[in-house]
Amino acid sequence: MSRTASPVAGDDPRRRIPRTDALLALDEVERAKQRLGEERVRDVVRDMQSRARAGAIAPEEVEGAVIAALESVHACAFTPVLNATGVIVHTNLGRAPLSPQAINALEAAAGYVDVEFDLATGLRGKRGVSTREALLKACPAAQDALAVNNGAAALSLIATALAGPGSGKRREIVLSRGEMIEIGAGFRLTELIESTGPVIHEVGTTNRTHLADYEKALGENTAALLKIHASNYVIKGFTSAVGIAELADLAHAHDLPLIVDIGSGLFSPEPLLPDEPTLTEALEQGADLVLASGDKLVGGPQAGLILGKKEWVERVARHPLARAMRADKLLLAALEATVGGPTPPVLEALHTDPDALKARTERLADVVSERTNEPCEVVPHDGRVGGGGGAEVPIPGWALSVPERLATELRSLEQPVVATTRDGVCLVDLRCIPESEDDSLASAIAALLTR
Ligand SMILES: *Cc1c(COP(=O)(O)O)cnc(C)c1O
């Protein structure tokens, strides 16, 4: 062996760092290569070798460190986290966690599938038929249904199809000033609608809009009436708004369609969220087109659901822009599995029994204080639906109260835990965390507290 190849002195421990090909030949590493591809695995190997060269780990630890690191590497850069915020539909954390059924459907749809193919005839089939059927079964009040990429796409597609270029002079969509919403990241629904050509005809005021305001706005330029559910704020005090039934009567008296954006997309009423509209109610009250997100309270993948009267859904589906917002096979598969499946995780989290949550949190507190010899407090902590709906509605619950510094440390764990801070403490809310994680969470918190 050539000494000149290595600048390292003979007794230098760095000589004992395992070679790349030896590490790549390990069984565990071979298996990781199947899952992640050679490049990502080589990156991990190089990283651990250089840590050893820098003296951060001993040469003897390299093998174990590579294997351990590979276990937590994923084929994409996303890091799965535990949501300890108590916010159920957390947009920054990917909104709805999928049900096991939806995950299974994603796997089934990952390869070649008959998404647009008729196996009986061997000819081209209609796309997404089974997803449409699942939506119609979940919402019998709808005559037709279409899934697109997300709620914003649904709104923009509907507006463009009904009032965009090609609609002649009928370019106006009538909307109350109380419903001009900015959703996350500075996006305004009114700007979204107008971006393809329709014009918003604002009526009423921020706090009060009356039927007469809508009546006055209608004319030969009107294409449609729009009602948007204020999903992330409430207007309280001296207020008044026009309900869907009244608006539908007005729209139909003028041969116009009523579009209703309900935001969150509940199929049936939710006793814990009495002010949250449902797709079914909106249609029963006379809306012609109702739209909602698939990944808020529906609990499925990111999707935009469009349900309603056949003639309007067909008109929307036929518009050229529909092709640009077409749902992919993964969305269609996961949505069908969610809509046709058991209660999704978001609704499970919403319905968590406060007493059961308290008992679970107390068990966590007991384990932590037993290991740290420090008392650990369980405090009342309201959960929230999140940006996805139920604005301002507290969902009674509990949280473990730990020192504030833990918020940062919990986020840097191998499996990061995202918790909130309030009044100088860090609150760990178990509402959105699978119970199977409790033991490892208790160990992690105890380890951080005794560090
Ligand atoms: C969330 C929301 C949207 C946007 O839906 P995405 O699925 O996030 O695109 C549109 N309208 C309302 C009322 C919403 O709450």
Which protein residue has the closest C-alpha to ligand 1 atom 11? 263
User: Who contacts 199 (Cβ-Cβ below 8 Å, separation ≥6)?
Assistant: 163, 171, 172, 173, 221
How far is 232 from 261, CA to CA, in rounded Å?
13
Q: What is the reported pLDDT for 2?
A: 42
Residue stretches of the chain with pLDDT short of 70 = 1-10
- Token duo for residue 24: 């790549």
Whole-number Å distance, alpha carbon 296 to ligand 1 midpoint, is 9
User: Would the pTM count as exceeding 0.75?
Assistant: yes
Pairing of strands 82-84, 417-422: parallel
Asked if residues 316 and 158 have their Cβ atoms less than 8 Å apart, the reply is: yes
Q: Is the CB of 151 under 6 A from ligand 1?
A: yes
Whole-number Å distance, alpha carbon 449 to ligand 1 midpoint, is 40
How far is 144 from 308, CA to CA, in rounded Å?
6
- Ligand 1 atom with the smallest distance to the CA of 304 is 7
- Ligand 1 atom with the smallest distance to the CA of 293 is 7
